[in-house]
Structure 1
Amino acid sequence: MRFVAVTSCPTGIAHTYMAAESLEQAATAAGHEITVETQGAAGSQPLSAEDIAAADAVLFAADVDVRDRERFAGKPVVAKGVKAAINDGAGFVAEAVRAAEQGARRPEREQAAEPAPATKVDPTAGAATRVRQWLMTGVSYMIPFVAAGGILIAIAFLLGGAEIATIVDGGEFGGREYEGVSDLSNLLGEAGIAGVLFKIGSTAFEMLVPILSGFIAFGMADRPGIAPGIVGGLLASAIGAGFLGGLVSGLLAGFVVLGLKRLTVPRGVAGVMPVVVIPLVSTVVVGLLMVIVVGEPIAAAQSGMTDWLSGLSGGTAWLLGGLLGLMMAFDMGGPVNKVAYTFGIAALSSGDTVIMAAVMAAGMTPPLGLALATVIRKRLFSPAEQEAGKAGWLLGLSFITEGAIPFAAGDPLRVIPSLMVGSATTGALSVLFGSTSPAPHGGVWVVGLVGQPLLYLLAIAIGTVVTCACVVLAKSVGRQKAADDTTNVSAQAPVTV
């Protein structure tokens, strides 16, 4: 038989190509021909129309959506994750053979009428499974922006010091007022190469929420979801909704586009639906919902939390440090995180450098703790998470809390509480140790400006270890319970001789 296959993992690096190699070897060993399209980080060479037309079946080894899936309409499809292809390529190919044989026995008219599903997720899968798949699609496209932007910002701090952000964007640092660079054509002359790198990195970071939102919608509704999703993400950033706002706008855009695609319209209108009507209507609907429905509640919540936090300073400063740590880890760059960071900036402007130190330290531990966990208990994490963990070291040291987002999006109920415990520990310890920071950003690269620097680093190290321990424990308990359930089911199954 002749097969075509597509492999794709969230990061598009190692496992995309490992799955392709496994399928090629298994098909060759079974006497079949196979052509594989790897939709990885390095791009892909699309399958030719001739290969697809000649294929007896299609194999999808993907943990994210398969791009341009409509090419395979009418072909028998076997869809699994990349792990299934890597661990059991022979079984994957055997299942494709059975699917091809069943497809050959059906009438040609029925085969041609079979629609191609919009996403990798089986339509019969549970709601939670489908939502997780959509979220991971957005995260997979967002990861390159996190890595590129975070590393560039870290290099900028190394070259230009902690004040480089203030030099580029304007504001007060170290008792000096900076106007900022208003004309980008003068950026190199006014801020040097460090300023240029910071601007490029911060611009990449500005795209995190729009890309996350746009490709969540893409995973749900294919290409028509990209425009309303990205616009919704941009609006989420503009109103301060952050990461959580991007999740909401992406899901909204996906559902709106799916609803519009199901409408029955006259034949004359159907031709312009995907290029005019759906983008126009969905963008307007999502934009209105984000501006009118989502924006006001988030603004009110931020104002209320800021006022409440102000009442905890003074004798309960250590408690305030712990609470700010909880907030920094709760949504990793979202509105709650931004309230905590803004509170630290406000305290810094009034001369209180203790709170700013606690906020920055607490924001560093989530990616650091997760990076440590991927080293200590590698088997508890997916291949995509293991790749994200490698970048987590530099992102965490650079006070880029968003480095924890790929982990939180994939397993929020276990990961987010663990991050909050570790960050709360670090925030409280930083205040108790009396550490201070006149710098509003910079992470470990500005430790020379920090008061009580050794104790400050100790607070970060303790929080990192606590985060790692909580994540490993939470994931181990969940995995053990699943294993016990499987064992119980197997023990109760009848034995056939």
Structure 2
Amino acid sequence: SEMITADLVDLDLSAETKEAAARALAERMAALGRVTDLAGFLADVATREAQMPTGLDGGIGIPHCRSAHVSEPTLAFGRSAAGIDFGAADGPADLIFLIAAPAGADDAHLTILSALARQLMNAEFTAALRSAADTATAAALIRGDVTPQQAAAAQTEAAPPSGEAASGSAQTSPADDAAPAEAGAPNAAPAPSEAPAPKDTTGPATADPTPEHPFRIVAVTSCPTGIAHTYMAAESLENAGREAGVELVVETQGSAGFTRLDPALIAAADGVILAHDVPVRDKDRFAGKPTVDVGVKAGINRPGELIAEVRQKATRGETTAPAAAGTPVERTGEPGEGYGTKLRKWLMSGVSYMVPFVAAGGLLIAIGFALGGYKVNKAPSVMDHFVWTQTDSWAALMFQIGGVAFAFLVPVLAGYIAYGIADRPGLVPGFVGGSIALTINAGFLGGLAAGLISGAVVTAIQRVRIPQALRGIMPVVVIPLISSAVVGFLMFVVIGKPIATAQKGMTDWLSGLSGANAVLLGALLGLMMCFDLGG
């Protein structure tokens, strides 16, 4: 069925707030059976609005959400004479689009919605909507059944002589359409200069001398819902790129999925623009390029500035180091997380990789004790003595394999804490620092310290500006060499001994509880197990 019909258009939207506007348009959807629970749907709209205001420069409001209370993808449109505040920087919106997508909307419907979002960056399209005289014309425009030029021609033919009001109709005529601007609604006039995309693109074309080939930019856009802003930012950037005389290709990471940019395009690109409010997928692809990293609304409202900025960075030789691509922990995090949350995730990154070694090693050791008794730890190496038919030999084998697995615990812990902070470059110093912690008997405390130090050292090295000729060897030679040396020095000479002393003190204290304080030891072990299991 059609996603928008004349019944879903209100050309005289009288709401004064964005909540009232959303309710008025949602009631039209509910009347057609496309919204099954009005209150639940409006709650989902409000939740989405709380994530980020949906007002856009140029007098557009585009509240939208995915909701389990939507039976089929639906779009409602309202036109407000007074304007409604949707949080845009340049004032209230007079064109309001309410997009309702089912929780399981398929790619085809989402593609249609993304096409509409791109159209909103077209000044002729928005001007035609502002001058549409009836709901059927507005719905046909939005569906794409008529072009803005066809709608304008029909409107001109039907318009009354200049100075006369259209009689017998409550709809807005071309003469009436000027009223919002006269009433103080700055975004109501349909002048092309008010379109978001081209309004700030006058400078980029002269940002630097014209090279032998056009300046090449690759971009990624994404937003929390992936229905509207993702595609509007893409259209805005592409329009600005054409005006600035640059080659600009956009990868939209929206709800309808995304097609990755050709690696050859990325390799040939002179700069990168990332306009996103959710983590960019496969961000590592753009490491080593001049990069501008902003929110998705910046891509909609000031694309020309972003193009100018990335060109300036390219002129200065500013590029992103591999760490700027985002660590594994940051890819799963939320924007604006505090340091404490990040620290917890870094530590849990190390623990999560260590746990399989604990499970495998611990169970093998337990099997060894079960088969061979408590003295199995005194058995000779199975390399020197192993009898296929003896249970004790198999017990010793299980015990010794488990011991080898346990030997990886601290290095893996340290290595993957560093990995969580600095990505792959942090692995080498992290494993080296963890092994040193074992060598000096610093144990798990030493592993924690080594992992955090390794991540910090690698991050610091990556922030140093490096000549272009050396960037290729940084991840495989320079960073592992310098970071391992620094971490090794700190662990052996500076902090290793104090940490080893603290580790020994804690171990001795726990060992001392096994006698008269056995009850306290049992309670402590029980609390540890409960905490470890999440309680």
TM (norm. structure 2) is 0.40
Q: TM-score, normalised by structure 1?
A: 0.43
**Which protein has the bigger strand share?**
2
Give the structure with the larger helix fraction: 1
Q: Relative contact order (C-alpha < 8 Å, sep 6+): which is higher?
A: 1
